[in-house]
Amino acid sequence: MKQKIKTVPLNNPDVGKPQGKNYARGENRPQQPQHGPMMFGAPGEKPKNFRKTLKRLLHYLRPYVASMIIMTVFSILATLIIVFTPLLSQYILNTLQKVMTGTEASSVLDSIPLFFGILIGAYIIRFIFDLISQLIGNRLSATVGKNMRNDLRNKLEKCPIKFYDETKTGNTLSTFSNDVETISDSLQQSIVSILSGLLMLIGSLGMMFYISWELTIIALVTLPLYILVTTTITKHSQPKFVKQQAELANLNGFIEEMFSSHKVVKLFGKEQSSYEEFQVINKNLAEVSRGAQFISGLIRPMMDLISNLGYVLVVIGGGILAGATNPLLIGDISTFITLQKRFVNPILTIANLANSLQSTIASAERVFRLLDVEEEVLEQNLYQFDYENFKGNVELKNVDFSYRKDQDLIKNLNLKVEAGKQIAIVGPTGAGKTTLVNLLMRFYETDAGEIIIDGIKSTDVPRKTLRSMFGMVLQDTWLFSGTIRDNIAYGKDNATIEEVKEVCRQAHVDHFIETMPEGYNTVLKEDAANISQGQKQLLTIARAILFNPKILILDEATSSVDTRTEAYIQNAMNFMMEDRTSFVIAHRLSTIKKASVILVMENGTIVEQGTHKELLEKNGAYAELYNSQFVNAII
């Protein structure tokens, strides 16, 4: 079953985070936590430690040393063939010239077909060696990319919810796709190309000296120009490639946000302003890309210019030496020019690789910044819950928490909940209601104090174990792309169709499912757009019932449905809450009149608690909230 980015399973650590979805520009966002977006690479930033990053990249190749050696050996063999085959051409041309000038007998021509055969055979063998090296390299590249994406995926499981609140989704997507692809494509190619290039450089230079040391000295005059041009262009192109990657991540984030919130954009008539903002971002990316590609593109024409100057000097020098006492033959000059090109090509290749390596290192640093994100606090595995005898007592002792160090949210919060009780939490927006739930689930860690579940500190058990005791039904109905049955059975492995149907009957959702053409095998479209909001909510309730949690959390589960559907949902929730400790966050106070205890929160503090009747008699904050809703309902 393919998971969408926006959807979240019932028992996933991402559930309940304050900013669990993207909001279009202009739409109200949650008040907490208020953090700036986290970026993995600042525009224009240079690599902080090139050598360290490269060493870390090579670590991904360490398990495949054998494949690397085989690939390198075949690449070296292919390079050696390229280096030495000009000698065959030299012999053929020189022999023909000597026979034509009469300095050699015509009988020597009998050996020419043999040398032609050797030359053709050498090129065929070189093709085979290159093919083998390429196949191994492609497989290695795909494996390295797969391993890197696995590491990133595993890292995201260990990142705290704070990371998701602070990080743009598009930035993470860009790291997974663009950056990893850049690295996997260039890493193995760079290593092999540099090795074969250096071998070609040394071999060609040796052969050039063998043919004519005078022409070799002339050819080497242009070498400082190659080095100067390469280092200068690389120095200026590197920051632009880093900025290009950052702008690409910004574009990905914007597109993801606009598509996920397209209904809100259309609702407020923001299509034009959204398009204009896209144009600005797209223009910035285009300008940065043009700058990066222009500067990096200068390498080839500049190298060609220097190379052509070198050819001119060699031709002039060859002409002078042709009239000397020991003249160079046609085969000597022709072979020397061929070798000179093959001497220059590795320089061009290494120069291009140096430029490409800047982009690779920029991508690698973004990947490693994500891999180096601070993980959740280490788990303790000191105790385990007794599932059979679990009661569901919850206690908060002197709990402090804030999303920002300079702004307190919850201060010295104390709360004791008896097993099986229904606790309703009410209060204005930003009072800390959802934050309290986040602390119970350890989506966030408390700054001080402790939370005790059934006599065990929540920090003394693994998070997975802790969260397995909780079931959640949220206002946002997080569903997957997949069948209705798969969505309902997500929280329980190997759930039978009979079990799925039973919980659907208990959630009053079986009737509408059975009227669907494919029944329980009906595939939900993106965002489950082919069913209503109330039906989505009933499906999440059925999922929670099948999961059979020990403690239940309901966060505004009926706030966006009609009155009739609300009655169905309320009945289903009442069934779920029987004999379970439950926390209900509600704005509609009429839905929590029967709660065992109602907590009224303001500014992270419980200002009132009691039953519905007791709180109305106090005529305090709760009475004010209740009466305001009652008056508004009449109006």
Kindly report, residue by residue over 363-409, the tens digit of the pLDDT. 888 899 889 888 877 777 778 888 778 888 999 999 988 887 777 78
Q: Is 64:305 a contact under the CB 8 Å cutoff?
A: no
Q: Grade residue 13 by pLDDT with cuts at 50, 70 and 90.
A: very low
Peptide bond into 33 cis (omega under 30): yes
Q: Grade residue 229 by pLDDT with cuts at 50, 70 and 90.
A: confident
Give the residue from 383, 379, 400 showing the smallest Cα distance to 454.
383
Q: What is the predicted pLDDT for the residue at 45? A: 44
% of the chain with per-residue pLDDT over 90? 6
Q: What is the predicted pLDDT for the residue at 21? A: 35
Fold for the domain defined by 380-469+550-635:
Rossmann fold (3.40.50)
Q: What is the predicted pLDDT for the residue at 152? A: 92
Q: What is the predicted pLDDT for the residue at 559? A: 57
Task: Give the type of residue at 501.
Answer: K
Under DSSP, the state recorded for 444 is: S
Q: What is the predicted pLDDT for the residue at 631? A: 56
Task: Flag whether pLDDT at 295 surpasses 80.
Answer: no
**Domain ranges across the chain:** 50-371, 380-469+550-635, 478-548
Q: What is the mean pLDDT of residues 222-228?
A: 81
Q: What is the predicted pLDDT for the residue at 24? A: 33
How far apart are alpha carbons 423 and 566 in whole angstroms?
Answer: 19
How far apart are alpha carbons 177 and 159 in whole angstroms?
Answer: 19
Q: What is the predicted pLDDT for the residue at 127? A: 92
How far apart are alpha carbons 456 and 394 in whole angstroms?
Answer: 9
Q: Grade residue 413 by pLDDT with cuts at 50, 70 and 90.
A: confident
CATH superfamily of domain region 50-371: ABC transporter type 1, transmembrane domain (1.20.1560.10)
Do the first three CATH levels of 380-469+550-635 and 478-548 match, i.e. the same topology? yes
Q: Grade residue 267 by pLDDT with cuts at 50, 70 and 90.
A: low
Q: Which residue has the higher pLDDT, 103 or 94?
A: 94
Q: What is the mean pLDDT of residues 57-83?
A: 86
Q: What is the mean pLDDT of residues 88-101?
A: 80
Q: What is the predicted pLDDT for the residue at 602? A: 84
Q: What is the predicted pLDDT for the residue at 626? A: 83
How far apart are alpha carbons 507 and 538 in whole angstroms?
Answer: 6
Q: What is the predicted pLDDT for the residue at 11? A: 35
Task: Flag whether pLDDT at 36 surpasses 50.
Answer: no
Task: Give the type of residue at 584.
Answer: V
Kindly report, residue by residue over 612-632, the tens digit of the pLDDT. 889 998 888 888 888 887 655
Alpha helices for 28-103 (secondary structure H): 50-59, 65-101
Average predicted confidence (pLDDT) for the chain:
78
Kindly report, residue by residue over 469-525, the tens digit of the pLDDT. 888 887 777 788 788 998 899 878 788 999 999 989 888 888 889 888 888 998 887
How far apart are alpha carbons 372 and 155 in whole angstroms?
Answer: 9
Q: Is pTM, for the whole model, over 0.75?
A: no
Kindly report, residue by residue over 516-559, the tens digit of the pLDDT. 888 899 888 766 677 887 888 888 888 888 888 889 888 876 65
Provide long-range contacts, Cβ within 8 A and 24+ apart, for 458-466. 459/377, 459/380, 460/380, 460/382, 460/383, 461/380, 461/381, 461/382, 461/383, 461/384, 461/385, 462/379, 462/380, 462/381, 463/13, 463/376, 463/379, 465/384, 465/385, 466/441, 466/442
Question: Which CATH code, of 3.40.50.300, 3.40.50.2300, 3.40.50.970, 1.10.3720.10, is assigned to 478-548?
Answer: 3.40.50.300
Q: What is the predicted pLDDT for the residue at 105? A: 66
Task: Flag whether pLDDT at 9 surpasses 50.
Answer: no
- As a whole number of Å, the end-to-end CA separation of the chain is 48
Count CB neighbours of 493 within 10 A.
Answer: 6
